[in-house]
Amino acid sequence: MTESTGYARAWEEYWRDAPIEPGGVFWDAPAQETVVRQLPLFENEFDPELPVLDVGCGNGTQSRRLAEQFGQVIGVDLAHAAVARARADDSAGVASYRQLDAADLPAVRALHAELGDVNIYLRGVLHQCDSRDLPRVAEAIAVLVGDRGRAFVVELAEAAGQMLRGLAGGPAGPPPKLAAVFQHGIAPGEVSDQAVPALLRAARLNTLATGELPLNTTEYGPDGRPLTLPSAWWLVARGA
């Protein structure tokens, strides 16, 4: 994807219009419910001397929490509006933020040349990508981690897509925060349970550990309970 595509414009408009209050964005669950629960799965594998990139950082909620654990955290996002929101929400400057299209491999290689090897936190990003960009995003992970870095990748399971379609097609239509995603032309895509490990293997990324973990959202289901989606995670490193 490039910044001139309709896909990129949709993300810019989404973040331009997104509510400012905490929890106003569908996937912006509090860090205590997301990265804090995930830390035991990867913190001992991340080389503390390397920067951490929060890829698809949005408004930086997880970036700020990661910065409490690691020395240098950089949140990157396709949308300039998301980066601006992240900077505004981080008044203490605990992390830094910049625009990056993870499918733009020349830009990715330039960032690696600047930073060297990095660790990557990537939560729920792949199903939001244009399917044509998925191989390039996987390749970007391999470029950025280099020889020393690790990547922690969390992605929705196929069953999550079925749940979202069920919510969208219900009598009342999609709940408000999910509706805002659809209204901006951002439809969560189908990524099969086999697709993510295949993409990682094709990018020469070896799986060191994997498992399942619910992905929290800020939305509520028809029963009034917080909506959690099934997801899988992979801890990967670049192979020889």
Task: Name residues whose C-beta falls within 8 Å of residue 35's C-beta, 6 or more positions apart in sequence.
Answer: 62, 65, 66, 121, 123
The 10s digit of each residue's pLDDT in 150-160 is 999 999 998 88
Q: What is the CATH number of domain 6-19+26-238?
A: 3.40.50.150
Confidence of residue 171 (pLDDT cuts 50, 70, 90): confident
pLDDT score of 190: 67
The 10s digit of each residue's pLDDT in 50-65 is 999 999 999 999 999 9
For residue 4, pLDDT over 60 is answered with no
For residue 3, pLDDT over 50 is answered with no
Q: Strand pairing of 52-55 and 73-77? A: parallel
Q: What CA–CA distance (Å, rounded) separates 175 from 71?
A: 38
Average pLDDT estimate for 14-21: 91
Three-state DSSP class for residue 217: strand
Nearest to 152, CA basis, from 42, 58, 28:
42
Average pLDDT estimate for 188-211: 90
The 10s digit of each residue's pLDDT in 29-43 is 999 999 999 999 999
Q: Considering only the C-alpha atoms of the chain, give the largest distance between any 2 of them, rounded to a whole number of Å.
A: 52
| SS percent in the chain: helix, strand, coil, step 5 | 40, 20, 40
Helix and strand counts by DSSP (H, E) for the chain: 9, 9
Q: Strand pairing of 73-77 and 96-99? A: parallel
User: What's the alpha-carbon Rg for the chain, to the nearest Å?
Assistant: 17
